[in-house]
Copies of this chain bind each other. A is one copy, B any other.
């Protein structure tokens, strides 16, 4: 048996050395996990959401564990555009892998302002448009539930970052996700990222109050994986395959097998979120797992697997 295989993939025109990226909000801005893994071994890096001004985020508790999952209501706590550019960008410039900055905002203008500033940075491969965060009062998911708004915000953002990859991150909590996907593609998205978290709630029955200070939060982790796989497969079959728009699949991925499941369902690349919390080198293990699968199945690479579930 050979013991190496090329698992690079073409993701929206850029060759990634492997299909494994970090998920926004779970792996920091750039080097927070470098004690546990060499970030340059990843397929790419997606940063925590950046907003125009720094955001403190929601009061605590901000997370609660659930059965095979967790809720978070971090509320987009982040250092803001300015500090990102001054403190983080220099570190990003030193990396050899593509970095995509996740962009969030409360108003259209905020999205545009952040995008405009980021698109001037040579070191960035693109942006991931977060119109699906369930944990903020304004903005976020409110843009992401209505296809007309998805198309409009995507188009306006794309105008400002024509030279960069624009990934649009969709919320799964809609009646027809393919409508959201179509809208993003019509608006000019170069790739789709799905899924963000599912809105959910845990109640502390002793105090008769929601556990999270924000009342509700977004469910992530292995619990959501089968729903995420379904949604990726649906969007792939309904829209993405024909439009030749790659999907970044995520939701509960812990192992190489999980990543292969998303790829078979239609994802060109995958992101690792919650699993990083318990296994900070999870991305590396997933990359190894994908390689082993390819070797075991005598595949020359992963691209032939994309969307190939019968």
Q: What is the interface of chain A, defined by CB distance below 8 A to chain B? A: 66-69, 71, 145, 173-175, 198-203, 205, 208-210, 216, 219, 221-227, 229-230, 233, 252, 257, 260-261, 264-265, 293, 305, 308-310
Contacts and interface: CB of A to CB of B under 8 A. Distances in A.
A67 B228 CA distance: 13
B67 A230 contact: no
Nearest to A233: B201
B265 A230 contact: no
A222 B260 CA distance: 25
Contacts of A219: 226-227
Contacts of A209: 309-310
Given A145-B175, A175-B174, A200-B229, A67 B205 contact: no
A263 B71 CA distance: 20
**SS class, residues of chain A in contact with chain B:** mixed
B69 A210 contact: no
Nearest to A293: B205
Nearest to A226: B200
Instruction: Name which of A223, A224, A261 has the most chain B CB atoms within 10 A of its CB.
Output: A223
Contacts of A309: 203, 208-210
Contacts of A252: 67
A67 B257 contact: no
A310 B69 contact: no
A110 B279 CA distance: 52
A230 B200 contact: yes
A243 B143 CA distance: 30
A71 B205 contact: no
A145 B175 CA distance: 7
Contacts of A265: 201, 203
Contacts of A225: 66-67
Given A208-B264, A208-B305, 13 more contacts: A67-B68, A67-B221, A67-B223, A67-B252, A175-B175, A199-B230, A201-B230, A203-B265, A205-B257, A205-B261, A209-B309, A209-B310, A223-B224
Contacts of A293: 205
A229 B208 contact: no
13 contacts: A66-B222, A66-B226, A71-B226, A174-B174, A200-B227, A200-B229, A201-B265, A205-B257, A205-B293, A208-B305, A209-B309, A210-B309, A219-B226
A308 B204 CA distance: 12
A223 B145 contact: no
A284 to B, nearest CB: 20
A34 to B, nearest CB: 29
Contacts of A201: 226, 229-230, 233, 265
A55 B190 CA distance: 45
Instruction: Name which of A222, A225, A308 has the most chain B CB atoms within 10 A of its CB.
Output: A225
Nearest to A71: B226
Contacts of A68: 67-69, 222-223
